[in-house]
Amino acid sequence: MRDKPAMVSLGVRLLKYDMEDKMKKRIIFIISSLLLCSSLAFAGEVITAREVQNCFYADGKMKCSDGEYKNTYYRDGDKIVRTNVFNLKKKESLSDDTVYKVIGELSSDPRKNSGALFPQVTRAIGFPGADAIEIISIDKNYIQAVKSTSNYFVISRFKIEKE
C-alpha cells in the first residue's frame, strides 16, 4: 500500500510536468505567431511600374510620347521612396532616393476607404529635385505622376506590373 501514494505522487508530478511542457509549447507558438504576423504587418511593399505615356509641357506647348521609363517604388507606411528609374530605351538604371509623403487625410486613402464610396487611391507628394515638386497617385493598376518645376510640367502614366 505504501507504493500506491508514491505512484500517485509520481503520476501527479508527471501530469504537472506534461501540462507545463504543453503550456511552454503553446507560449512559444503564440509568441512565434505574433512575431511573424507583426513582421508581415510592418513589411513594406515594392511597386514596379512601366511608363505608358509621358507629356511634357513648357512655353505653352505640350508634347506627348510613349513612355520610356520603368520606376521602382518602396512603400512603407506613410512613406514611399522611388528607389530606381530605369530608362528602357538607353538600358540605363539610375539609383533614386526621392521620398514621397503619403497624404492620408484624403477620403480615397485605402487605409480609411473600403472602396464603396470612392475608388481606393493613395496620393503622395515628394521633391525630386532642388526646384521640383511631384505628386503621385497610385491605384490598383496605375501610377500617375505630375511633376512641376519653375520652367515645365511633366505628366506621366505608369502601368503597375503585377508579380
| Judgement on whether residues 62 and 8 belong to the same structural domain of the protein | no
Output the tens digit of pLDDT for each of the chain's 163 residues: 555 665 556 555 655 656 566 666 666 666 666 655 444 445 689 999 999 999 999 999 999 999 999 999 999 989 999 999 999 999 999 999 999 999 888 777 777 777 777 788 899 999 998 899 999 999 999 999 999 999 999 999 999 998 7
| Judgement on whether residues 20 and 80 belong to the same structural domain of the protein | no
Element (H, E) at 87: strand 79-87
- Cα–Cα distance list, 41 to 34, 47, 52, 56, 105 (Å): 10, 17, 32, 39, 21
Q: Give residues with Cβ within 8 angstroms of 83, minimum separation 6.
A: 72, 73, 74, 95, 96, 97
Query: pTM for this one?
Result: 0.70
| Judgement on whether residues 23 and 49 belong to the same structural domain of the protein | no
CA 135/CA 122 separation, integer angstroms: 10
CA 84/CA 116 separation, integer angstroms: 34
| Judgement on whether residues 49 and 39 belong to the same structural domain of the protein | no
How many separate domains does the chain show?
Answer: 2
| Judgement on whether residues 6 and 61 belong to the same structural domain of the protein | no
| Judgement on whether residues 51 and 19 belong to the same structural domain of the protein | no
| Judgement on whether residues 155 and 85 belong to the same structural domain of the protein | yes
Q: Which domain range does residue 65 map to?
A: 45-160
